[in-house]
Amino acid sequence: MRPSLLDPLFAPITSLEGVGPKVATMIEKVVPADLGDRSARVGDLLFVLPHSVIDRRNRPGIALAAEGAIVTLEVRIDRHQPPPRGNRSVPYRVYAHDDTGEIALTFFHAHAAYLEKQMPVGEHVVVSGRMEWFNGRPSMVHPDHIAPLSDAASLPLVEPVYPLTAGLSGKVLRRAIGQALGRLPELPDWLDPTVAKKHSFPAFAAALERLHDPSDPIDLSPEGAAWRRLAYDEFLAGQLSLALTRTHVRRLSGRPLKGDGRIEDAIRKALPYSLTGSQEFALAEINADLAEPERMLRLLQGDVGSGKTVVALLAMARAVEAGGQAALMAPTEILARQHLATITPLAERAGLKVAILTGREKGRERSATLAGLEDGSIDMVVGTHALFQEPVKFRDLVLAVVDEQHRFGVHQRLAITAKGDAPDMLVMTATPIPRTLVLTAFGDMDVSRLTEKPAGRRPIRTVTLPLDRLDELIGRISDAVAEGQKVYWICPLVEESEEIKLTSAEDRFAILKQEFGDIVGLVHGRMKGAEKDEAMRAFKEGETKILVATTVIEVGVDVPDATIMVIEHAERFGLAQLHQLRGRVGRGDKPSSCVLLYKDPLGETAKKRLSVMRDTEDGFLISEEDLKLRGEGELLGTRQSGTPGFQVARIEFHADLLEVARDDARLILARDPDLQTERGQALRVLLYLFGRDEAVRLLRAG
Ligand code: ADP
Ligand code: MG
């Protein structure tokens, strides 16, 4: 079904020269596509865009080349000076000159034969690299490029620099990308010519060419025409795919779910609090959707701690009253268990049967749950994506609630749909995404927002503190713990190879344990499920008072009596993430605080981020600041990760294109709902290029 002209791009990257299995694994870490469990393909490399360039156009002549500058020099080779025999610590030097002066090209652990061949005495060569003035003498250590004058054109004067991962050399990656570009077939044009003209978009291939082989650093700007063209393509693919999914999903019409309020009342009676106004309002919107024969696709947006779970539970109660089953899917096992712990006592009070299903339930317990779901004796089930895998059958799934769904794609949405007779869908997210982003990440969903925090919540005091005042902090924590307070201590994830010295969670755990003894717990992503649960349980029940964690606790974990959040290396986290983390405290009625520990010196963007955190707790405001700062981060050359769910498009630069793409997609499908016309066929190619092929499968054959 895939157009065969795309075959070269769908070949595995190991089909490229210089890419064996080991290099392939490293490349997979830098491709922006969400690979899931597939391997990287040649086409994925096209979208590994350079984050900066090395500008080699500066040709000052030797004597005028400044210390530390990247320069390109045209020199005549005068003599080679190998190190004295047996002394490998002295470098191999090649002396050369131009009209302005002499330079020593310096090589450690050199292969003499190779250097002699590359730089024969008397020849003119072009070299490019970083200038160093060593004792007042110009030198260049290991030039990045050396080429004979006749071949000077091969030297990249504006050289793209790609994101790298440990062990992967820039050269290997550049070579692989070059080959991928070479395999790009002639593609039909899918753009509306008026749109292309209006935005001065280059052709798809030309845009890729300009980004991978820039002739000026400005070519790489996200605001330049080349990048914008690709962003538009990606948005268009995304919008088409969402629109196709939506049409498909709606075609399977839902059924009206009405209840008598019996279960809902029982649950409300069991609640130790009453709902906030915005919880009531959201629930009313949801119940109205459920009562309609059309299928519900609704997003419930609410800051951390705003009380989404209970809203979901009451919606699920309605589904059960209507005679069906309801499922709640969480992104992690910890969260699934936490939801279970919240829901079970309330639901059981109302006479419901609740079960859990994650990758960890095995054996008899698992079979019992599977049987209960199939015969309908289980009313509600909580779980991870294991819920929507093959062997699970529901008797009558009518409502699927998905927590924190920005991690799930169209694919999962379809998998869920397949489990029931077009179940209603409620998606919950704590990410206070601006409206534009709702559109990109979730498509045309209806939105309910929880804007109030439950009554009794106190503001969180946020302070910033440099790491070298750690002792002070430990003193204060020790007082707080003595008073019975509980503390989260978050450390960033560390890749072992990372150059910057960071304290990993395990190291910090060891240090705090020396200080505080057994009241310190640890939870991180590499622990087994049961160990994680145990660490969370011990903290929740107060056996441990300080929980050192990586960001596994980022989403949703609820320990209402934790009052202090320490975030170590706060400068390394994005605003959205800091906000999520901070939301773990301030959930009870005690005053809470958040300590952002940072390492000096702070960059401009990091400084601003931390001050935003100090100034406000408003998630929507923070998300807007986040967008702005991401833009600035880019200009300062410290690129942060792209917009979730996209390979090249960056919402902070390309949001204007999103609206255009949405309108374009609507128009296209209104005229050509199954993409049958010539342009429709070209658009199918586009969907494949950006990994939206699930949507193509929804089209009627043809
Ligand atoms: P989130 O929106 O982050 O998922 P939760 O659903 O986990 O928030 O709720 C956070 C905490 O607030 C829970 O302990 C919950 O019991 C409590 N809660 C929810 N609604 C209310 C309310 N209306 N009044 C008081 N507490 C509430
Ligand atoms: Mg939650």
In this prediction, residue 226 carries a pLDDT of 96
In the reported structure, the alpha carbon of residue 275 is separated from the centroid of ligand 1 by a whole-number distance in angstroms of: 9
Percent of the chain having pLDDT more than 90? 56
Q: How far is the CA of 538 from the centre of ligand 1 (A)?
A: 21
Structural tokens at position 385: 């994506």
To which H or E segment does residue 540 belong?
Answer: helix 529-540
**What number is the average pLDDT over the span 338-361?**
93
The mean predicted confidence, pLDDT, of the chain is: 87
Q: Which residue has the higher pLDDT, 654 or 249?
A: 654
Atom of ligand 1 nearest to the CA of 303: 2
160 lines ligand 1 (CB under 6 A): no
Q: What is the atom index within ligand 1 of the atom nearest the CA of 302?
A: 2
Residue with tokens 């609630």, as numbered in its chain: 401
Q: Give me the pLDDT at residue 75, please.
A: 97
549 lines ligand 1 (CB under 6 A): no
Nearest to residue 246, comparing CAs of 292, 288, 296, 285?
296
Contact 592, 563 (CB under 8 A): yes
pLDDT at 579: 86
Query: How many whole angstroms separate alpha carbon 85 and alpha carbon 605?
Result: 51
Phi-psi region of 542 (alpha: psi -120 to 50; beta: other; left: phi over 0): left
Question: Quick count: other Cβ atoms within 10 Å of Cβ 90?
Answer: 11
Task: Output the CA 559–ligand 1 centroid distance in Å.
Answer: 11
pLDDT tens-digit map of 11-58: 999 999 999 999 999 999 889 887 877 899 999 999 999 988 899 999
Q: What angle do CA 236, 685, 666 make, to 5 degrees?
A: 30
Task: Report pLDDT for 250.
Answer: 64
**The pLDDT of residue 410:** 54
**Model pTM score:** 0.60
Nearest ligand to the CA of 268 is 1
Distance 451 CA to ligand 1 centre (A): 13
Using omega within 30 degrees of 0 as the cis cutoff, is the peptide bond preceding 143 cis? no
* Stretch 632-649: mean pLDDT: 52
Q: Determine the atom of ligand 1 nearest the C-alpha atom of 310.
A: 6
Collect contacts of 619-622 with beta carbons under 8 A, ≥24 apart. Answer: 619/303, 619/304, 619/432, 619/579, 620/432, 620/434, 622/432, 622/575, 622/576, 622/579
Reply yes or no on whether the pLDDT at 445 is more than 90.
Answer: no
Q: Has residue 384 got a pLDDT over 80? A: yes
Residue 297 CB less than 6 A away from ligand 1: no
Report residue 427 as tokens: 């998606």
Inform me whether the pLDDT recorded for 154 exceeds 90. no
Q: 228 and 199 in contact (C-beta within 8 Å)?
A: yes
Residue of 276, 309, 555 to test ligand 1 pocket, by largest number of atoms within 8 Å of CB: 309
Q: Quick one: pLDDT at residue 231?
A: 95
Domain annotation for the chain: domains and CATH numbers = 4-53+163-220 (no CATH), 57-155 (2.40.50.140), 273-450 (3.40.50.300), 460-616 (3.40.50.300)
- Sequence-ordered alpha helix ranges (H) in 53-158: 112-118
d(CA 151, CA 153): 5
Q: Is 430 in the pocket of ligand 1 (CB under 6 A)?
A: yes
User: For residue 444, what pLDDT band results from cuts at 50, 70 and 90?
Assistant: low
**Percent of the chain's residues with pLDDT above 70:** 90
**Residue 640: pLDDT over 90:** no
For ligand 1, atom 20, the nearest C-alpha belongs to 307
Q: Is any ligand 1 atom within 6 A of the Cβ of residue 273?
A: yes
Return the best residue to mutate from 306, 405, 452 for the ligand 1 pocket (most ligand atoms within 8 A of CB): 306
In the reported structure, the alpha carbon of residue 312 is separated from the centroid of ligand 2 by a whole-number distance in angstroms of 10
Residue 526 has pLDDT above 80, yes or no: no
**What residue owns the CA closest to ligand 1's atom 16?**
307
| Closest-CA residue to 527 (of 547, 552, 546, 545) | 552
Q: Which of 329, 451, 558 to mutate to test the pocket of ligand 1 (most atoms within 8 A of CB)?
A: 558
* pLDDT of residue 636 exceeding 60: no
The SS3 call for residue 314 is: helix
Q: What is the mean pLDDT of residues 635-659?
A: 66
Instruction: Give the number of the atom of ligand 1 that is nearest the alpha carbon of residue 279.
Output: 23
Distance of alpha carbon 213 from alpha carbon 511, whole angstroms: 49
Q: Do 329 and 417 contact (CB within 8 A), yes or no?
A: no
Mean pLDDT, residues 333-351 taken together:
91
Ligand 2 centroid distance, CA of 210 (Å): 44
- Coil, strand, or helix at residue 57? coil
Bridge partners (DSSP) listed for residue 447:
299
Distance 340 CA to ligand 1 centre (A): 14
Written as one letter, the residue type at 623 is S
Nearest ligand to the C-alpha atom of residue 559? 1
Gap between the Cα atoms of 655 and 583, Å rounded: 28
Is the CB of 355 within 6 Å of ligand 1?
A: no
- Give the mean pLDDT of 70-95: 92
Encoding tokens for residue 692? 């939206």
Query: Ligand 1 within 6 A of 417 CB?
Result: no
* Atom of ligand 1 minimally distant from the CA of 456: 25
Rounded to the nearest whole angstrom, what is the distance from the C-alpha of residue 305 to the centroid of ligand 2? 7
> Regarding predicted confidence, which is higher, 252 or 699?
699
Residue closest by Cα to atom 14 of ligand 1: 560
- Mean pLDDT confidence for 127-147: 93
Q: Ligand 1 centre and the CA of 307: distance in Å? A: 3
Of the pLDDT bands very low, low, confident and very high (cuts 50, 70, 90), residue 426 is: very high
The predicted pLDDT at position 637 comes to 31
What's the pLDDT band for 634 if we cut at 50, 70, 90?
Answer: very low
Cα Dmax for the chain: 95
- Ligand 1: residue whose CA is nearest its atom 5: 307
Ligand 1 atom having least distance to the Cα of 271 = 16
Tell me which ligand sits closest to the C-alpha of residue 300: 1
pLDDT for res 237:
93
Distance 457 CA to ligand 1 centre (A): 10
Q: Are 492 and 505 in contact (CB under 8 A)?
A: no
**Ligand closest to CA 305:** 1
| Protein residue whose Cα sits closest to atom 25 of ligand 1 | 454
Å from CA of 428 to ligand 2 middle: 8
114 lines ligand 1 (CB under 6 A): no
- Report the alpha-carbon distance of residue 228 to residue 207 in Å, rounded: 9
- With a 6 Å cutoff on the Cβ, whether 163 touches ligand 1 is no
Structure tokens at 669: 């499908």
Cβ(584) – ligand 1 distance below 6 Å: no
By the 8 A CB rule, do 234 and 647 touch? yes
Least distant ligand from the CA of 580? 1
**Amino acid 294: pLDDT:** 81
Q: What is the mean pLDDT of residues 547-574?
A: 82
pLDDT at 441 over 80: no
What's CA 41's distance to the chain center, in Å? Answer: 20
**Number of neighbours of residue 228 by Cβ within 10 angstroms:** 24
Ligand in nearest proximity to the CA of 345: 1
Cβ-in-10-Å burial (0-12, 13-18, 19+) of 99 comes to: exposed
| Rounded average pLDDT over 103-130 | 94
Ligand 2 centroid–CA 328 distance in Å is 11
pLDDT for 633 equals 41
Cα distance between residue 449 and residue 405, in whole Å: 15
341 lines ligand 1 (CB under 6 A): no
Residue 78, pLDDT above cutoff 90: yes
pLDDT at 438 over 80: no
**Is the Cβ atom of 586 under 6 angstroms away from ligand 1?**
no
**540 Cβ closer than 6 Å to some ligand 1 atom:** no
Reduced to 3 states (helix: H, G, I; strand: E, B; else coil), residue 293 is coil
How far does CA 233 lie from the centroid of its chain?
A: 20
For the CA of 338, the closest atom of ligand 1 is 7
State which of 267, 271, 273 you would mutate to test the pocket of ligand 1, scoring each by most atoms of that ligand within 8 A of its C-beta.
273
Among the residues of 408-504, which ranges form H helices? Answer: 410-419, 435-442, 470-482
Report pLDDT digits (tens) over 253-308.
Answer: 667 888 899 999 999 999 999 999 999 999 999 999 999 888 888 889 888 778 99
Going from the Cα of 558 to the center of ligand 2, the distance in angstroms, rounded, reads: 8
